[in-house]
Structure 1
Amino acid sequence: MDKRYKRLVGNSIIFAIGNFGSKLMQFIMIPIYSYALSTYEFGKVDLLTNIVYLLAPIVSFDLFDGAFRFALDKFEDKNRIFSTSFITLVGMSVIMFIIGSICSIFVTGYPIMYTVILLIITIFFSLVSNFARAIGFVKHFAIAGIINTFTMGVANIILLLVVKLGIEGYLVSFCVGQFIGILYLFIATDIPNYLSVREYSLETLKKLLKYSIPLIPNGLAWWLNSTSDRVFVLGILGPSYNGIYAMASKIPSAISTILSVFFQSWQISVVEEYDKKDSMKFINTVYDTLSSLLFCAAVLLVAVIKPVFNLILSANYYNGWKLIPILLLSVIYTNIASFLGTMYTANKKTVGILTTTVYGAIINVILTVVFLNMIGLNGAAVANAVSFFVVSLLRYKYMKKLGKIRINFRKAIYLHVMFIVSCLSVYILKSNITIFMVGILLIVAQIILDSNLKLLLKGVIMRCTK
């Protein structure tokens, strides 16, 4: 394993260690949400939090992504990048607060001001944490993630189970978690030294906006592609169905959450390696390993999904397990699309990210409306999977044309067959133990056949035992 792979694996392990506690807390919170919030309440609060994720890149001009990308360049002035981004976002926050105050007068039934405050804190947490990661504070970035999630979890337990604030308590918990995470990064690192009013630069702002503005409509299109299904479920089937769909989506999203530690490391590695002569070999090897991990994780989740739903969730949410196989396929294609998208950002071709995402979003919206009326909740999941498959295919064709990647389609077909077999087992077989054994056998077979996966596991074991 050469230095590039060692660094990628090493950084991923650091992020993984830092995120383990966070993900554990998030998993623990799933049954708490299912018992503390009705399907109706969870459907509403899920919509609000997803609107926050939609608006964050729009109202901030996606400056947190721009700051991260330019801070990775060795010859950029880090003080100007951070100061310009931070001060600009302070101004935008004031505007958002005023707009939120006005909207809260006219909108009833939804906690608008709590949502606005969460939006503002989310933007600043994204900026500070991404900048910390870009300038080398990898461990502190990971610790901030732990602090954020554990604080949010404790606050949720208090506000949902003890004080019983419902939706408001859920939103306040998210605000508190991210605020404490920001506070930690300001105390534990020298990030405050990068912030100065004198370093504010309109020229730097223009440069950042030139990179980040194409990402704004991309953020909207990505939201339409990945989250608009919740809005249509809410509008066509109602809040209770959206609550079931949102809760079911949380289980497969665990894969994306875990893989986020890889992408945090990969974003750095792909920028460093993109223009090198042997970049295609490096990218192919990483992609090949990633695809194996995605499908193996999906097979494992399918193998345990029935007992997991029965064990940790309220009975009101149990039927949501039937959505899991299709949602897992959507998660697989989402992560493949994200992987390919990092190569666009590596060469700063952000317009390409936008166009591919827009195509996927259009397909997703049309298919969601059609399929929801035809086959109910399963329709939203199918539309999501199809749209992200299209995005992945379009991005792959472009990167293949540039000579940056070439997928082994024989392996891709095998991985899909393995996944289909695991899905059929959960629908056909009655015994949970038999379903689990089928999944384990499929995963073991893949590990035996996949040399890159064996190499990765060997590297991880060696790294962890040092």
Structure 2
Amino acid sequence: MLVPVVTLQMREGAFRFMMATAADDDVSRRQIATVVYQSLATSIGATLLIALAMGLTLHIRLFWPTVAMLVTFSIHEVVAQMCRGLKRNDVYVQGNIACALVTAVVSAILLLVFHGGVESIFWANVLGHVAGIGLCEARTRTLRLCLGAKVDTKTVRKELLRYCLPMIPLTLCWWMTVNSDRLLIKHFLGLDSNGVYAVAMRFSAVIHALALIFYQTWQESAITQFKSKDRDAYYSRVYNVYIFALASIFILYVFLLKLNIGWLVADAYRSCLPLIFPLGLASVLSALSSSFFDPIYQSAGNTRRAVPAVVLTACLSVGLNCVLLPVLQLPGACLTAILAYGFLLIYRLIDTRRYVKLHITAAILIPVAVMALAAIPYYASRWMMADVASMVVAVAVIGLSFVIYSRKHHDKGEQTA
């Protein structure tokens, strides 16, 4: 939650502005790197001063390892996103791999050899991020860009801050939307219910992880294609395919979890099974409303426009949870998530028409219907083979409808050509 504040969301700005520069435009790249690193240094300096004041007045366990991990993670995020903006995805991946490997190796050594305890994991993460930063900097030398000849950064600084600062409340509201339900469940229903809900939410992280992969890939394409003449057709095609893909993932997700829940969780938490379907559906709506549309606002350079919808969604989520949790208990939290993300999806479909005219094909009614109808065998079936058959048939129907959609789209493209 603190990373967006510490970085001033320069990680997003570094990527977006570097992406927009030409490969031989050293002046613009130097301006961007200078502003990014100066802003990051100022923010981290302020963070360390606040941390020093807190460390001298409060006794918080693992405080300094936490601060060190926050600072190194923040720097790594910005440097890594700058690599992506420079179209060095290979370095971005290598930096993350180096971070993971160093973290794993150092953790193993400190825990197994030196019996370091929990604190050793924090320091292992710090060293991992330092390794990632070092590799990215060695391969791209972004720091060198701002150490060369002085350049005028006034205009770039203003544009970067105008782009990045609105993304801080945006990210914080996203955090509140995602996490407020667990805080309110703990308040209204107690720790036992919160534990069951947390297990179900942990599984939905699979869909969120896949949506994040799509987001990073789509972010580059969306920015690159934003000024193209066939932008509307291209964006529409990607969104339609995304819906088909998420529908298939959702079907596999809910039925595979149902089939394997017996050995995945302890007996005390198996009551989370009825929650997996609606929370998976909420995760699909979240992916459709965020990972696709956020890059559209970024491509247009108008991140402020994305804030009101997320603020309203966060308020709606908190309000509905306060009303529905005492009445419906845990199903109320699931219903709240579906309604909140459904609202955000509708809002953004309408709001982004000022930038892109999306054409959502009628063919997506098939995967949408399949997802809805899948609730019947999911809740009614008690036979494993029936669940397997339902999963296979549902995925086959979605796949067949996608093939038909692809052929029609291909034929239409040939006629246009």
Same fold (TM > 0.5): yes
Aligned equivalents of 2:325, 2:96: Cα separation in 1? 36
Q: Does 1:70 align with 2:17?
A: yes
Residue of structure 2 equivalent to 1:137:
88
User: 1:142, CA displacement in angstroms?
Assistant: 2.1
User: 1:242, CA displacement in angstroms?
Assistant: 4.0
Distance 1:318 1:98, change over 3 A: farther
Give the aligned residue type for 1:400.
R
Coordinate RMSD, CA, aligned: 3.0
Q: Deviations over 1:177-228 (max 9, x none)?
A: 4333223222333334334276584543222101111212211222222222
Residue of structure 2 equivalent to 1:351:
304
Residue of structure 1 equivalent to 2:282:
330
Percent of residue pairs bearing the same amino acid type? 21
User: 1:361, CA displacement in angstroms?
Assistant: 1.1
Q: Does 1:260 align with 2:207?
A: no
Aligned equivalents of 1:373, 1:380: Cα separation in 2? 10
Distance 1:135 1:365, change over 3 A: same
Q: Does 1:60 align with 2:7?
A: yes
Could you state the TM-score of these two structures normalised by the residue count of structure 1? Answer: 0.77
Distance 1:101 1:233, change over 3 A: farther
Aligned equivalents of 2:313, 2:332: Cα separation in 1? 16
Tell which deviates more after alignment, 197-206 or 122-131.
Answer: 197-206
Give the aligned residue type for 2:373.
V
Tell which deviates more after alignment, 133-142 or 375-384.
Answer: 375-384
Find the partner of 2:40 among 85, 89, 99.
89
Find the partner of 1:340 among 293, 309, 331.
293
Give the aligned residue type for 1:66.
G
Residue of structure 2 equivalent to 1:233:
185
Residue of structure 2 equivalent to 1:463:
none
Q: Does 1:387 align with 2:340?
A: yes
User: 1:386, CA displacement in angstroms?
Assistant: 1.6
Q: Does 1:364 align with 2:317?
A: yes
Q: Deviations over 1:394-417 (max 9, x none)?
A: 110122355521223x44443232
Give the aligned residue type for 1:72.
M
User: 1:158, CA displacement in angstroms?
Assistant: 6.9
Distance 1:417 1:174, change over 3 A: farther
8 Å Cα contact 2:297-2:306 kept in structure 1? yes
8 Å Cα contact 2:259-2:387 kept in structure 1? no
8 Å Cα contact 2:7-2:75 kept in structure 1? no
Aligned equivalents of 2:273, 2:112: Cα separation in 1? 25
Aligned equivalents of 2:109, 2:243: Cα separation in 1? 40
User: 1:438, CA displacement in angstroms?
Assistant: 0.8
Residue of structure 2 equivalent to 1:126:
77
Aligned equivalents of 1:178, 1:237: Cα separation in 2? 39
8 Å Cα contact 2:7-2:43 kept in structure 1? yes
User: 1:152, CA displacement in angstroms?
Assistant: 4.5
Query: Which entry has the higher C-alpha Rg, 1 or 2?
Result: 2
Distance 1:101 1:378, change over 3 A: farther
Aligned equivalents of 1:247, 1:157: Cα separation in 2? 27
Q: Deviations over 1:279-326 (max 9, x none)?
A: 111111100000111111011011111344333444454433332212
Distance 1:417 1:156, change over 3 A: farther
Distance 1:447 1:276, change over 3 A: same
User: 1:72, CA displacement in angstroms?
Assistant: 0.9
User: 1:174, CA displacement in angstroms?
Assistant: 4.5
8 Å Cα contact 1:294-1:332 kept in structure 2? yes
Where do 1:269-288 residues align within 5 Å? 269-288=221-240
Residue of structure 1 equivalent to 2:140:
189
Give the aligned residue type for 1:448.
L
User: 1:343, CA displacement in angstroms?
Assistant: 1.0
8 Å Cα contact 1:302-1:422 kept in structure 2? no
8 Å Cα contact 1:82-1:195 kept in structure 2? yes
Distance 1:146 1:309, change over 3 A: farther
Unaligned runs of 5+ in 2: 408-417
8 Å Cα contact 1:97-1:117 kept in structure 2? no
Find the partner of 1:298 among 235, 241, 250.
250
Give the aligned residue type for 1:433.
M
Residue of structure 1 equivalent to 2:391:
439
Residue of structure 2 equivalent to 1:19:
none
Tell which deviates more after alignment, 71-80 or 195-204.
Answer: 195-204
SS at match of 2:2: helix
Q: Deviations over 1:90-146 (max 9, x none)?
A: 232232123234335666676443433332223212211111011011122123333
Distance 1:179 1:160, change over 3 A: same
Distance 1:183 1:452, change over 3 A: farther
Give the aligned residue type for 1:185.
C
Aligned equivalents of 2:176, 2:204: Cα separation in 1? 19
Could you state the TM-score of these two structures normalised by the residue count of structure 2? Answer: 0.85
8 Å Cα contact 2:296-2:355 kept in structure 1? no
